[in-house]
Structure 1
Amino acid sequence: MYRRLSRLAVTTFVLSALFMPIASAQSDAPIADPLPTPGASGIGLELTEVAQLPESKPVPPPTDARLRRYNRINYLGEVPDGSGRLFVPDMNGKLYLLDHGVQHVFLDLGAVVGPDFHNHKGLGSGFGFAAFHPNFKRNGKFYTVHTETGSALTSKKPDLPSPADMQVHGVITEWTASDPRASVFSGTHREILRVGYASFIHGFQEIGFNPNAHWWDEDHNLLYVASGDGGIGLTTTVPQDLGLPQGKILRIDPAGRNGVNGQYGIPRSNPFVARTGALGEIYAYGMRDPYRFSWDSGGSHKMFLGHIGEKAVDSVYEVRKGANLGWSEREGFWAYKKNDPSCGVFPLPPDDEKYGYTYPVTAFDHNRLASSRPCADSGNALMGGFVYRGSKIPALRGKYIYGEGVKGLIYYAEEREMRTGKPMATTREMMVYVNGQLTTLKALVNDPNRVDLRFGRDAAGELYVLAKANGKIWKVTGARTFASCRTGHDFVAGATGSRSWEPVTPALWQFPGREVVLAQPGVARPGPRRPFEYAVLKKGPAFGSVQIDASVRLDTPVSESNRDVIIVFGYKSDTEFYYAHLSSDNTIYPHNGIFVVNNADRLRLDHQWDAARSVGAAPAVKDTAWHRVRVRHCADTGEIAVYLDGSPYPLMTAVDKTFASGRVGFGSFDNIGRLRDLRVQGKGVR
């Protein structure tokens, strides 16, 4: 199958990971839901549009609709010469410079390559990436990745072992500008490395230099190359074969000459240089689609890789020299079985530690629909990002910000928690604001199906967001906390007497001192669908913006299903109010969410509800213990957040402006429970 093919019995490298189970299974069956959906962070990124690059199209027109985008911009970086110029490659062939707001074409790579330039088939095809030499200001050198087909497949020979039936070549080119200060490239170029791939996907991805490396570091001026598995790792051992370049991170010296073609060097410090049958270019291995990597400019300067998984899990890894990330024997923290009809993941074997695989530092799963074919495209792709170390937004410092590219979701994990061999760091979802208004990237690009999100970073460490769907670039210019309005200084506390409350059905309630007790379940009443029984707090004023703090307990036995209590706010009348539903179940529409009743059946408002999967935020109350609840409602913005048990992260969030003020209350549908330690603070409305 391969030219110069060598099959090695892979000797594991001494990098063991302590497996901490996220989802368990007692039998050798696929794990249906490996990871919980990332919860809300309560942090929103302020995005400011800085550019829209020109529309471009693959040639010839592609049959795959996923390639028919406004353009195919896929990265933003800063030219390392102190000029402040930003560079952006478009996979359809051109490299743009953004020079303090002025955009222009720096290099038309597609035109230089000519007819063999390939960009119309395969999501990774075309002009894949650009990386400027750290010393570009003096030497004028930068590097690009592109794909070739056509006559190149027969007239040009790959430098490293490649499939005999290869479909595409990945090519790395060195360019030397005559004048590094020029706005349009003029100079020379040379090919330094060519590799063949078995399909049009998972070829060369990112290339880059470690920005933290000094002249005395082994990484100094060495070029890292992310090389995918060519789309065949799911049924072969290619990513595990140290004699092959596919499914690896390579590290080469562009200024060296001891590589196989004499156009690059193999660093002596690479981990497999002395191993018989192994490629000296390999830095780490065991990868499917190592799409994006970056180095933390702070902390301990770790290298993080955003890795796109097969059918179940996408992961972020800390990449260390010689590490084996496990593909295609492992996917994320789980075992992967070739040719398994479920295309799922499985529990690790009892002797897993002996293999020495490196496991993720954070991850998310694909949350496939039950109606989906098991091996169909899941529609998920992890977009690796950066640890924020900029100075403009203190709230983001130390956060590794990354995302899911198709839907345009932005996530983060705390870098201090991202430790190889430790339990994975928690990933949380971030919100998006533009001009102070909460929005989504899908709304910004006006495309409900594909955002095609990517990230960028400038020399100061500030972050950028890009979208192929409309070719726009936004700078992250701030961060804000959701529902963080000032609520005012009016308050009510210690209201547990019967005179302070107005129940729907007084006979069902008890007021034994420090608690407000719904002692008997309510029953459905005529009118719109809404909670059966609740009591409204009469003491004090109605509130506009408000924060409600209380402890609640569900007295209905755990053995019963559909247990709930509710917190009422914005109450105007028996058919006009909001409520937060706190339930032991999160799998049906009426449960565990934020709702509004407005003279009609209750309407669900929270962002966490996934109607396609019929699942919402994690169950709020699963036992009969006391739980601390906080509800914040900002009248001006309509932002609503519900917190549980002192967590700084909201369990549920929503935005609605139906009611700008009202009273608060407590109750349930048809369960029993109690409330204590109530404190309501806000802006009184009289």
Structure 2
Amino acid sequence: MGVHRGRVAAITAAVLAATLLTPPAAADEPITDPIPEDPAPAEFGLVLQPYAQLPATEPTPPATDPRLIRHNRINHIGEVPDGSGRRYVPDLNGPLHLLDDGQQHRYLDFRERFEHFFSGKGMGSGFGFVTFHPEFATNGKFYTVHSEGEGAIATRPPTYPNQPDAVVQSVVTEWTADDPAANTFTGTHRELFRYGFATYIHAVQQIDFNPTARPGDPDYGLLYLGVGDGGIGLDTDIPQDLSTPAGKILRIDPAGTNGPNGQYGIPADNPFAGQPGALGEIYAVGMRDPHRFSWDPEGEHAMYLGHIGQHAIEAVYEVRAGDNFGWSQREGDLTFRPETQCYLYPLPPDDATYGYTYPVAAYDHDPPPNWPCNSDSGHAISGGQVYRGHDLPQLRGKYVFGDLVDGRVFYTEVDQMRRGGPRARLHELQLFDTAGTRLRMSDFVGDGRVDLRFGTDSQRNLYLLAKANGMIWKVTGTRPARDSEVTEQVRRNLVAHYDFEHPFAADDSRELDSGASGTLLSLLNGGQDMRVRDSAFPGSNNALQTRQITPDADGNDDWKAGVWDPGGVASLEAFNGTDGATVMGWFKMTGDNPAPNTTTPEPGDRYNAVGLAGVLTGDSDGHDVRALLELIEVDGQLRLVALGRRLDGGASQTFAARPDWRELLPPGQWVHLAATFDYTTGRMALYRNGAPVPGFYTDPGDPWQVDGTGTTASTPRGIKIGGSFPGNDRERNPCHCRMDSLMFLDTAADQRTIAEQYRRFTHR
């Protein structure tokens, strides 16, 4: 039901204590990984069937922030509670759509209705949400929240005083339809609530009725408002200030009149009703961005909130009357300090005295180690739904939610989501299309930034929707999850792994590392266009395209990939002093190799090498390598080689394949290649499709100065893929090719390990 009367007095006292007291300084030891455990792979995945695609729309005024320039900005799907089966979908850019037996209707458009409608800045600005009164079929009433800009601020007084520098207002409106069954709105409207914010972020996100409340219940017909902190809760106490709506969940009675403007009522059983100095509308406090909330249709009808964090934790809370989630003294269940946002800190010894409520489920950002920790790393929780339908028994009793930016989908068991107990275990769900192909949401939408949301209908079906392409999918089934493409033997030494299925949501010209290092890879000069739909093996969807762009001019526009730091890439420390290394992956020749040499005046000259993939030395300028798989001239003939150095500044050794490279890499054909380097013995090897390739050493001596130890104790300056110099200061040795599932190991893998990994790829 949401209201737990027996707890209200105690909770109210705890909230007031938290408001009046400043917690003592926490321990000074920062926590850099607040939630060490990753979500567990789920044993099953969801089948997504396309349901509808809504029309393209644009922000008002036109936006410059690329995060707002989407196909459209649909952000929820629900069912009109009148038995008609119609679904409703709000679009932040203005339209309210109705979906009726496959037909789309534009029910209402806020751009046309309101002179000062504003959606051109801020992730949540615009027509944010709509909810229908449970008696809509007879009273025709529904409620919306939208944003208005400068003109409204100058002329329309807020329900509570604005901050002096307010730049946008959130407006809650009651609408009354002349004909509730109509697919286009005609009728009247009145304003209930208006509040201004000093920034364009964290305004009023969701408004909603508790769908589990029935006539006669205390919660029936009461409207909940999720009010953000306006972006200023970071270093102010506004989320803890009971005299302002910001950073709170409010609970109001649209049919009442005892609110401050006489347009709504304050329920007498609200936890702060009648409390001097506190707004009676407040239901729960201490929030940064209460983005999405929902109620469990069964059980105790718990209310769950997906709360967007700052730089560390995305959390799910069970919400009860009088709760205080601690922002900005707390992020999740750790101490937050605005001056050190990259890290959180342990709770103080007297934490219990402040009465904060902590998450029942959470995950952390885990930004790549070579990405600024105080920059957006592409994470924000999208609160979801407890599935209580009967068509998908594997999902029953699970709270399904996700990350709205990168599109990962998770579930937790509701039975494990206990207040005051350990956080519920997260499980990551795989996703499949109706043909059974495993895809990630970034594949479904064709963009690294998904903008994922969830919804449901009266039959408790689950829906996913995305702003990136304006699509809605219905979850129509489950199927067993696919095994990992990486064998356990390889995983033990897998430093970096790039499969080009994991665009970095904050910047999809970069690729996330699925290996242990987490090293972020840059797709140089071509950005996201370098990811192409191609598959080297079953279960793969994307590959990396590398190529020369301008063959007749010396330049630096070749498509290649890599990571480069002249001080050493700290996350690649596993290659510091390593005893061995392996470079392997899938390759396909897609053009003329070797490429024309742009550094010489002769038009017929070609480069003497074709770059595939390798790890640089600790003193490399972007060309010298510790372990490299490449095509290079040996005695005037291009050959497939393993080329490496044991000592920084020392000589290299080359192991060259005897077969013609064109037989090993025929045009247009995917081939799995591996090169291994044992620095303690000087042994090198090449493999093709899991089998050894006969070859020879080009230097019969001991250029590595083998002494039974590993490489120089220095951290590599980077990884290069598809060409030399990942610092991107010149073009050398470009490759007209595609690559898939590139792996870099800190051991010289043996023949069996490589053969088993090849079989895993081809027999999944």
Give the 5 Å matches for 1:249-648. Answer: 249-338=249-338, 340-435=339-434, 436-448=436-448, 450-483=449-482, 579-581=487-489, 588-589=495-496, 608-609=514-515, 612-613=518-519
RMSD (Å), alpha carbons: 3.3
| Aligned amino acid, residue 44 of structure 2 | I
State the match for 1:201 in structure 2.
201
State the match for 1:548 in structure 2.
none
Change (3 A) 1:579 1:265: closer
1:50 aligns with 2:51: yes
Is the Cα contact below 8 Å between 2:451 and 2:468 reproduced in 1? yes
1:92 aligns with 2:93: yes
Cα distance, 1:39 vs structure 2: 2.5
Cα distance, 1:161 vs structure 2: 3.8
Cα distance, 1:257 vs structure 2: 0.5
Distance 1:45 1:11 in 2: 44
| Aligned amino acid, residue 432 of structure 2 | Y
Q: Please list the CA deviations of residues 434-472 of structure 1 after superposition, one character each: whole Å capped at 9, or x if unmatched.
A: 021111111111113x11111111111111010101001
- SS of residue matched to 2:489: strand
Cα distance, 1:60 vs structure 2: 2.3
- SS of residue matched to 2:150: coil
| Aligned amino acid, residue 46 of structure 2 | L
| Unpaired runs of at least 5, structure 2 | 1-11, 19-25, 500-511, 522-536, 541-584, 587-669, 673-688, 691-745, 751-762
Is the Cα contact below 8 Å between 1:296 and 1:302 reproduced in 2? yes
Q: Please list the CA deviations of residues 57-91 of structure 1 after superposition, one character each: whole Å capped at 9, or x if unmatched.
A: 01222111110000000000000000000000010
Distance 1:268 1:52 in 2: 43
| Aligned amino acid, residue 163 of structure 2 | P
State the match for 2:214 in structure 1.
214
Report the count of equivalent residues. Answer: 511
- SS of residue matched to 1:67: coil
Q: Please list the CA deviations of residues 190-209 of structure 1 after superposition, one character each: whole Å capped at 9, or x if unmatched.
A: 00100111111000010000
State the match for 2:734 in structure 1.
none
| Aligned amino acid, residue 58 of structure 2 | K
| Aligned amino acid, residue 395 of structure 2 | L
Is the Cα contact below 8 Å between 1:408 and 1:453 reproduced in 2? yes
Q: Please list the CA deviations of residues 106-165 of structure 1 after superposition, one character each: whole Å capped at 9, or x if unmatched.
A: 111221112x10000111110000000010001000000000012211111110243121
Change (3 A) 1:585 1:347: farther
Is the Cα contact below 8 Å between 2:417 and 2:424 reproduced in 1? yes
Distance 1:87 1:205 in 2: 17
Is the Cα contact below 8 Å between 1:589 and 1:614 reproduced in 2? no
Distance 2:151 2:443 in 1: 42
Change (3 A) 1:368 1:257: same
Identity, % of aligned positions? 50
Change (3 A) 1:188 1:671: closer
Is the Cα contact below 8 Å between 2:371 and 2:520 reproduced in 1? no
1:247 aligns with 2:215: no
1:155 aligns with 2:63: no
State the match for 1:70 in structure 2.
71
1:188 aligns with 2:95: no
Is the Cα contact below 8 Å between 1:341 and 1:374 reproduced in 2? no
Is the Cα contact below 8 Å between 1:161 and 1:245 reproduced in 2? no
Is the Cα contact below 8 Å between 2:403 and 2:452 reproduced in 1? yes
Cα distance, 1:104 vs structure 2: 1.1
Is the Cα contact below 8 Å between 1:14 and 1:356 reproduced in 2? no
Is the Cα contact below 8 Å between 1:401 and 1:412 reproduced in 2? yes
Distance 1:54 1:167 in 2: 29
| Aligned amino acid, residue 141 of structure 1 | K
Distance 1:387 1:79 in 2: 19
- SS of residue matched to 1:291: strand
- SS of residue matched to 2:154: helix
| Aligned amino acid, residue 57 of structure 1 | E
Change (3 A) 1:456 1:108: same
Change (3 A) 1:29 1:442: same
Cα distance, 1:337 vs structure 2: 1.1
Distance 1:198 1:69 in 2: 25
Distance 2:172 2:516 in 1: 43
Change (3 A) 1:93 1:107: same
| Aligned amino acid, residue 61 of structure 1 | P
Change (3 A) 1:579 1:69: closer
Distance 2:17 2:489 in 1: 46
| Aligned amino acid, residue 14 of structure 2 | T
Q: Please list the CA deviations of residues 568-620 of structure 1 after superposition, one character each: whole Å capped at 9, or x if unmatched.
A: x9xxxxxxxx843176666x1389x9xxxxxxxxxxxx9954774479xxxxx
- SS of residue matched to 1:589: strand
- SS of residue matched to 2:353: helix
State the match for 1:679 in structure 2.
none
Cα distance, 1:286 vs structure 2: 0.2
- SS of residue matched to 1:380: coil
Distance 1:312 1:290 in 2: 16
Is the Cα contact below 8 Å between 2:496 and 2:513 reproduced in 1? no
Change (3 A) 1:308 1:11: same
Cα distance, 1:15 vs structure 2: 12
- SS of residue matched to 1:45: strand
- SS of residue matched to 2:196: strand
Which has the larger displacement, 471-480 or 212-221?
212-221
Distance 2:205 2:219 in 1: 19
Distance 1:226 1:458 in 2: 21
Q: Which has the higher helix share?
A: 2
Distance 1:215 1:589 in 2: 58
Give the 5 Å matches for 1:4-19. Answer: 11-13=13-15
Distance 1:150 1:583 in 2: 55
Is the Cα contact below 8 Å between 2:370 and 2:520 reproduced in 1? no
Is the Cα contact below 8 Å between 2:496 and 2:516 reproduced in 1? no
Distance 1:480 1:165 in 2: 52
| Aligned amino acid, residue 59 of structure 1 | T
Cα distance, 1:267 vs structure 2: 0.2
TM-score by length of 2: 0.63
- SS of residue matched to 2:192: strand
- SS of residue matched to 1:138: helix
Distance 1:437 1:319 in 2: 38
Cα distance, 1:376 vs structure 2: 1.8
Distance 1:139 1:302 in 2: 28
State the match for 2:106 in structure 1.
105
| Aligned amino acid, residue 156 of structure 1 | R
| Unpaired runs of at least 5, structure 1 | 1-9, 17-25, 485-566, 570-577, 594-605, 616-635, 640-653, 663-667, 673-684
Cα distance, 1:213 vs structure 2: 0.5
Distance 1:307 1:11 in 2: 24
Change (3 A) 1:613 1:420: farther
